[in-house]
Homo-oligomer: A and B are copies of this chain.
């Protein structure tokens, strides 16, 4: 993932195939088996999935899926509270990191009183917000230049769509990868009168497309182009630039339906 996890938590353990073969694999926060980082999960005796994404297809033997949950971290923090369990500071930091990133630092619509209450639990277990924030939010001059660029090159559609198309040449000049660039889609969030915001960033495989909305369900549009995600936060990979107008058309239809 794009969160520098090891800076905050630790390096991943190296686990042998033999150990995996006698283990329970718990797979978290991924709806789609090919996206699992260590594909050896398939060798485990039993696979248990904990997730909040809209399932793309099923895998594993057991699953705990709550598509209404803000974050898998929140589901686990709930579980910890329910069973009066304790967390180490490292565990609390991992869950806090998930809660903060999946909620846009307590910004998104699914944040409730329970979110704050569970966050308070995590701090009680030793989660250190300054460490998390320093890693998540530290700005570099390159990032500031990128943000400035986006704010000078966005395009708009009167239906309520705001978007930016970033070619690989532009990204190269700005010193940012397509993956990192598209993760910044919320730079175009919360613009007055614009209810869907989208980044199209060119990579070797095509155009990475990230779509967000403040209420309109855009997951179906991402699915139509081979992607998926959440109702208000989805993405897909477009094989060709010629598909961009098609995505825009579909999003404009969604906007007009909700106008």
Chain A interfacial positions (CB closer than 8 Å to B)? 105-107, 109, 111-114, 116-117, 119-121, 123-124, 129-130, 133-134, 137-141, 144-145, 147-148, 151-152, 154, 189-192
Question: Which of A106, A109, A116, A141: most chain B CB closer than 10 A?
Answer: A116
- What distance in Å separates the Cβ of A145 from its nearest Cβ neighbour in chain B? 7
Is there an interface contact between A116 and B123, defined as CB atoms closer than 8 Å?
yes
Is there an interface contact between B138 and A147, defined as CB atoms closer than 8 Å?
no
Is there an interface contact between B107 and A114, defined as CB atoms closer than 8 Å?
no
Is there an interface contact between A144 and B139, defined as CB atoms closer than 8 Å?
no
Residue of B nearest to A136 (CB): B190
- What distance in Å separates the Cβ of A107 from its nearest Cβ neighbour in chain B? 6
Residue of B nearest to A137 (CB): B190
What are 13 A-B pairs at a CB distance below 8 A? Answer: A105-B106, A105-B107, A107-B137, A111-B129, A112-B123, A113-B124, A137-B190, A138-B192, A139-B191, A140-B191, A141-B191, A144-B151, A148-B151
User: How long is the Cα–Cα vector from A116 to B191 in the complex, in angstroms?
Assistant: 27
Q: Which residues of B contact A117 (CB under 8 A)?
A: 116-117, 120
- What distance in Å separates the Cβ of A92 from its nearest Cβ neighbour in chain B? 11
User: How long is the Cα–Cα vector from A144 to B111 in the complex, in angstroms?
Assistant: 26
Is there an interface contact between A151 and B147, defined as CB atoms closer than 8 Å?
yes
- What distance in Å separates the Cβ of A176 from its nearest Cβ neighbour in chain B? 14
User: How long is the Cα–Cα vector from A11 to B134 in the complex, in angstroms?
Assistant: 39
Residue of B nearest to A153 (CB): B148
**A-B residue pairs, 7 tightest by C-beta:** A113-B123, A148-B151, A116-B120, A117-B120, A144-B151, A113-B120, A116-B119
Q: Which residues of B contact A137 (CB under 8 A)?
A: 107, 190
User: How long is the Cα–Cα vector from A129 to B130 in the complex, in angstroms?
Assistant: 23
User: Which of B119, B139, B189 is in CB contact (< 8 Å) with A192?
Assistant: B139
Q: Which residues of B contact A119 (CB under 8 A)?
A: 113, 116
Residue of B nearest to A115 (CB): B120
Q: Which residues of B contact A130 (CB under 8 A)?
A: 109
User: How long is the Cα–Cα vector from A258 to B191 in the complex, in angstroms?
Assistant: 39
- What distance in Å separates the Cβ of A108 from its nearest Cβ neighbour in chain B? 9
User: How long is the Cα–Cα vector from A134 to B191 in the complex, in angstroms?
Assistant: 10
User: How long is the Cα–Cα vector from A253 to B71 in the complex, in angstroms?
Assistant: 44
- What distance in Å separates the Cβ of A93 from its nearest Cβ neighbour in chain B? 14
Q: Which residues of B contact A133 (CB under 8 A)?
A: 107, 190
